[in-house]
């Protein structure tokens, strides 16, 4: 939640729940040194923030289940997100209205699939994510839970 707050998100954390309030997000610098697993979802969040977000110390993202920087850079470009990277840094310019009607690749990586699915909820048309079965590794009920929130999800 610290990264969300740093971007201007209003949240409240209690012992039993997290409350997220409507907020305007702003780009900022995010240090990924100790939390490489958050990289994909933070890239999605940055795509909706006003201005540039720079992720530093992100090289570890290249050595997870996939090269998460390359994977997210490839897939986010398909929906229109201005993004570029170096070995250990990522720059994302927002906000971006996600273009739907595209097919994205989950890169056999559960965190990539879940991040792309969250972003796709804001696209202007349906988005297909190939390799979505990768979520079984960490969160098999992910799509069921999205449906419980009123999000339309079709599984093939």
Q: Judge whether 27 and 58 are in contact, CB under 8 Å.
A: no
Q: Judge whether 146 and 153 are in contact, CB under 8 Å.
A: yes
CA 16 to chain centre: 24
List % helix, strand, coil for the chain (3-state, nearest 5). Answer: 35, 20, 40
Gap between the Cα atoms of 67 and 61, Å rounded? 6
Evaluate the CA torsion angle 47, 98, 70, 144 in order and state its sign. positive
- Active-site residues, by number, are 37
Q: Is beta strand 90-94 parallel, antiparallel or unpaired with respect to 83-85? A: antiparallel
């Amino acid at each position: 939640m610290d990264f969300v707050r740093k971007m201007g998100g209003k949240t409240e954390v209690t012992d039993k729940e997290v409350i997220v309030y409507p907020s305007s997000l702003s780009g900022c610098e995010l240090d990924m040194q100790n939390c490489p697993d958050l990289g994909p979802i933070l890239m999605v969040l940055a795509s909706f923030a006003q201005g540039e977000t720079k992720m530093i110390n992100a090289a570890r993202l290249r050595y997870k289940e996939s090269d998460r920087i390359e994977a997210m850079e490839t897939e986010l470009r398909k929906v229109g997100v201005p993004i570029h990277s170096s070995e250990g840094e990522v720059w994302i310019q927002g906000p971006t209205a996600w273009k739907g009607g595209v097919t994205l690749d989950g890169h056999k990586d559960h965190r990539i699939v879940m991040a792309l699915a969250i972003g796709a909820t804001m696209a202007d048309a349906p988005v297909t994510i190939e390799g979505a079965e990768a979520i079984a590794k960490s969160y098999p009920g992910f799509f069921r839970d999205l449906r419980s929130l009123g999000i339309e999800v079709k599984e093939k």
